Amino acid sequence: MKFHVESLHLWLASGETRTLSFLPNKVNVITGASHTGKTAILDIFDYCFFASRHRISESIINENTLWYGLKIHVNDKVYTLARRAPSGTTVSSDYYFSSIGEIPEKAPKANIQEPALKVLLGADFGIDQDVRIPFGGQYLQTGSRISLRYFLLFNTISQDIITHSEQFFDKQDQPRSREALPRIFDIAVGIDTVENILKRDKRAQLEKRLARLQKQLVKRDENREAFYGELAETTSRAMSYGLIADNSDAEHAVATLQRMVVERETGPESFVSRRHEEISAELYRVSRKIKGLRKFLGEYTKHKEVLSETADSLKPISSLRSNHADTVRTSVFFEILERLEEGLQEIKTEISKKNPLDSNVGELIKELEGQREQLQGELQALPSSGAIFENEKERYIFIGETKAKLELFAETNGNSSRNFEADIANLEKQIGELTVLSAEERQKHFTSVLDETIQEYISSAKVALGNYGQYRSAFDYKEKKLHLRKPKTAFIENVGSSSNHMFLHLFLFLGLHEIIMANGGQHVAPFLIIDQFSRPYWGDDENGSAKSEQPAEQDRDVNESDVAKVHTALKLLDHFISQANGMGKEFQIILFEHINPKYWEGLENFHLVEIFRDGNALIQGTQASS
């Protein structure tokens, strides 16, 4: 992403316009005395970027200003955005926007609504409108859109936090910003991507649907079990009244009870009578089959007996064949004898066959007899008459209760026809096809790379850190804080002084931006506003002299002086700009300070914007909040 601020504009009530100009790829310094409006510039920047409350000083600055505006370069585009000055503590909803960077000579006129401007700028910051807050909190709801303002947390180090021992990001006293930071951090630094977030969100939705389906499936089965438990009693009563024959099968019992309810208008005896007729008819058919099979079996047995008797009667044929010499023979004797022998052989063969017909018919008769016995038992179970209820009212009450239970079953079992198993399998397949990168592993990798990056800054500034110059970077991912770890131990040191905390803030933000640029980040703009990092050492006097600066004759070691520490911090910023340019990237720093320009002499990437002294201030000829 490319971004830099070209100029800041104040349209004053006097009709004049106050302009401050900045350069890209530079450390742009506004230095000067206190109460000249330096810090107000940071507040104005925040106000123009949709702040819902403001900290611009009412005295001198706000009371003399009609509109505030910025001319910015974003991804080779030039924009001007301006916002009407707040009225007291109430922020304005009036915005002016120019897509070609036009600066009105007189106070602008509102020409765009805030939501539309947010969408327009959000697109340049790579903020997809479909990307939502991944997890909610007390002030940010899950699923709410990610705001451009959340990423601006990476672009400012205000004087309120630059020496803070616990807070490293601005606006952490504001609940929404405090909750937003952990929710957008991974996207901002490149741990996560919009595509991966959308995939993770889709997977979460699919998993939610899957859990809901699985719960419905379990509930359906539980309801069915509960109903069939209730069904047992109803079925038993229906049997005792003779309304159904048996309850051996639950589904069959339901169908029978439903038919009973439908036919309740036909009278109390209709079902019993019809069932009696059905059983009687079936008994008759079964009995006919048994009788026919038994008759067949008897005839078959007689047939075999006749064959056996015939075989016995033909036994003398063998004697005739053996003694044919003693027999009076005719011309056809041997022909007749041969045919008789053939017939005898055929009979013997038929008799000797092992035919399963006997056993098959016997088994079939046995099975039919079992059916007949069951039908007879069912027939005996039916009442001989319809007088099974004390009165018709009792009959209709029972049928009504049964109908209500069946309707309740139909409601709770409404999804019984739905193929939950197929739907669940389909969702599991979709979830399996989504390749979502593990955020946890990438977080560990990022922390390791960030510590390596910051360690280089620690090494370059180790003299200013004194006893902690050899300590190791220890970024706390969960708390979003930078600590120093004693070498070869897990011990986290309490670095104590505000000077060391100032350096930790610089180390962290420079390290974050270096990684963001290396990853081609498109959500965090490559610029940084730093408000008075020299506060731990520098006085507010007009000359900008160091509080601890001593006369030369005292022969104080310059490496331990506050002047040297400030110079180390300035060289750190200068080196960062050079390093960014060496990566082929653009980066802009805007620095508010009290120090004298002589302290950055010789540093190639510094640009003096203005010196707010001797009557020169943000609002010319006045003294305002610093």
Q: Which pLDDT tens digit goes with each residue over 418-471?
A: 677 888 888 888 888 887 777 788 899 999 999 999 999 999 999 999 889 999
Distances (CA, A) of 608 to 178, 574, 597: 34, 13, 8
Is 624 within a domain? no
Neighbours of 98 (CB within 10 A): 18
Is 626 within a domain? no
Neighbours of 580 (CB within 10 A): 21
Which range of residues forms the domain containing residue 319?
196-436
Which of 408, 436, 464 finishes a domain? 436
Is 388 within a domain? yes
211 and 148 inside one domain: no
342-368: pLDDT as tens digits: 776 777 676 666 565 666 777 888 888
588 and 548 inside one domain: yes
Is 488 within a domain? yes
406 and 302 inside one domain: yes
pTM for the whole structure? 0.65
Which of 414, 436, 458 finishes a domain? 436
Q: 């309707």: which residue's tokens? A: 407
Contacts by 397-400, CB closer than 8 A, 24 or more apart: 398/237, 398/238, 398/241, 399/260, 399/261, 399/264
Percentage of the chain exceeding pLDDT 90: 39
pLDDT band of residue 102 (cuts 50, 70, 90) is: very high
423 and 539 inside one domain: no
- Tokens standing for 372? 């007949």
Is 42 within a domain? yes
For residues 264, 266, 269, 273, the Cα torsion angle rounded to the nearest 10 degrees is -110
Give the closest residue to 246 by CA, choosing from 287, 283, 275, 284. 275
7 and 147 inside one domain: yes
Is 623 within a domain? no
Is 210 within a domain? yes
pLDDT band of residue 167 (cuts 50, 70, 90) is: very high
511 and 417 inside one domain: no
Give the span between the Cα atoms of 564 and 401, in whole angstroms.
94
Higher pLDDT, 592 or 309: 592
Is 313 within a domain? yes
510 and 427 inside one domain: no
Q: Domain tally for the chain?
A: 2
Which of 390, 416, 436 finishes a domain? 436
Query: What pLDDT, on the 0 to 100 scale, is given for residue 92?
Result: 97
207 and 350 inside one domain: yes
538 and 414 inside one domain: no
330 and 346 inside one domain: yes
Q: Helix-strand-coil percent breakdown of the chain, rounded to 5?
A: 50, 15, 35
- Tokens standing for 548? 């601890």
369 and 510 inside one domain: no
184 and 219 inside one domain: no
Among 122-131, 252-261, 438-447, where is mean pLDDT lowest?
252-261
- Mean pLDDT for the chain? 81
Helix runs in 138-193, H state only = 148-151, 175-189
CATH code of the domain in which 570 resides: 3.40.50.300
